[in-house]
């Protein structure tokens, strides 16, 4: 199989604090991981592409200083929401690709998501 | 530009009915892949199928089937004899060639009523 986990599944924090979300590929190595954000009843919005050992590539309009991404190993990527505010409340989902350089042929496997609520 | 359109925002049917979810795409790529994912209420996206543009044969997996029509740029998904557990949001997606990114449709919320 291709299992991706995320931790925590839910987090509630106060405004101004930072929150770290972990994404792990459990049974395969993932050179590329993706971070998405999903608002209620909407589609997934890609935030950034995370490549192991290099800097993440952010989508237009996503603040890189606000959403820090680290992909330090082939099985772990982290997303840190810095100085979170209520408008950052959302459902964050990561995905991982199995094959390096597989391009469009590769399937992305998704984690269960993290629901962030900022008070 | 790559684009995926799922015109059906919500569908509601009674259990055991057949239901088809539409997906129309736009791409400038000559070869490409198409994906369907299921997102149940728990939130996790579950991979259902990947289809290569070279292969226009219909695919069947149990109660699920997919109809790929390159001529109309459609990749429709049919659930036969629907069950309550099929209730979810279903997304069709298309990769951007070379950019490793997926473009998702807006999703179709399917509700199967007992």
Cα of A58 vs its chain's centroid, Å: 11
Residues 53-112 of A with CB under 8 A from B: 91, 93, 95, 97, 103-112
Q: Closest chain A residue to B9 measured between Cα atoms? A: A41
Q: Do the chains contact at B33 and A91, CB–CB below 8 Å?
A: no
Place of tokens 């996790």: B44
In angstroms, the Cα distances linking A44 to A33, A49, A59, A90, A101 are: 15, 14, 13, 11, 23
Q: Over chain A (119 residues), what is each successive 10-residue block's mean pLDDT?
A: 91 97 92 92 92 88 94 92 96 86 73 96
Q: Do the chains contact at B47 and A103, CB–CB below 8 Å?
A: no
- The nearest CA of chain B is from the CA of A116 a distance in Å of 13
Q: Do the chains contact at B43 and A115, CB–CB below 8 Å?
A: yes
Taking CB atoms and an 8 Å cutoff, what residues of chain B touch A92?
none
DSSP state of B23: -
Per-residue pLDDT, B23: 98
Q: Do the chains contact at B43 and A112, CB–CB below 8 Å?
A: yes
Q: Do the chains contact at A104 and B100, CB–CB below 8 Å?
A: yes
Per-residue pLDDT, A65: 94
Distance, in Å, from the CA atom of A9 to the CA atom of A111, rounded to the nearest integer, reads 10
Which one of A31, A40, A43 makes the best mutation probe of the B interface by having the most chain B beta carbons within 10 Å?
A43
| Beta bridge partners of residue A34, listed in sequence order | A49, A95
Taking CB atoms and an 8 Å cutoff, what residues of chain B touch A49?
100-101
Q: Which of A99, A98, A100, A95 lies closest to A111, judged by CA?
A: A95
Summarised one tens digit per residue, pLDDT across range B30-52 is 888 899 999 999 999 999 999 98
Which pLDDT band holds residue B98 (cuts at 50, 70, 90)? low
Are A25 and A4 in contact, with CB atoms under 8 Å apart? yes
Pairing of strands A32-38, A44-51: antiparallel
Distance, in Å, from the CA atom of B17 to the CA atom of A17, rounded to the nearest integer, reads 49
Taking CB atoms and an 8 Å cutoff, what residues of chain A touch B101?
34, 46, 49
Q: Do the chains contact at A49 and B98, CB–CB below 8 Å?
A: no
* Cis status of the peptide bond prior to A8, with omega within 30 of 0: yes
Summarised one tens digit per residue, pLDDT across range B66-83 is 999 999 999 999 999 999
Start-to-end CA span in chain B (Å): 41
């Amino acid at each position: 199989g291709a299992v991706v986990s995320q931790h925590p599944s839910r987090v509630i924090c106060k405004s101004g604090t930072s929150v770290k979300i972990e994404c792990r590929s459990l049974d395969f190595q993932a050179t590329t991981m993706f971070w998405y954000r999903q608002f209620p009843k909407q589609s997934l919005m890609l935030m950034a592409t995370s490549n192991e050992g290099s800097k993440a590539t952010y989508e237009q309009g996503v603040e890189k200083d606000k959403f820090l991404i680290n992909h330090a190993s082939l099985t772990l990527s982290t997303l840190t929401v810095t100085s979170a505010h209520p408008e950052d409340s959302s459902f964050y989902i990561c995905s991982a690709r199995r094959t390096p350089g597989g391009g469009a042929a590769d399937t992305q496997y998704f984690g269960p998501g993290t629901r962030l609520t900022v008070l | 530009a790559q684009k995926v359109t799922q015109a059906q925002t919500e569908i509601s049917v009674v259990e055991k009915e057949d239901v088809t979810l539409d997906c129309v795409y736009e791409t400038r790529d000559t070869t490409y892949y198409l994906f369907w994912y299921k997102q149940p209420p728990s939130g996790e996206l579950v991979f259902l199928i990947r289809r290569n543009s070279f292969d226009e044969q219909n695919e069947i997996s149990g109660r699920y089937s997919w109809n790929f029509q390159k001529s109309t740029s459609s990749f429709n998904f049919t659930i036969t004899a629907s069950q309550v557990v099929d209730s979810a949001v279903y997304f069709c997606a298309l990769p951007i060639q070379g950019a490793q990114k997926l473009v998702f449709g807006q999703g179709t919320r399917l509700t199967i009523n007992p």
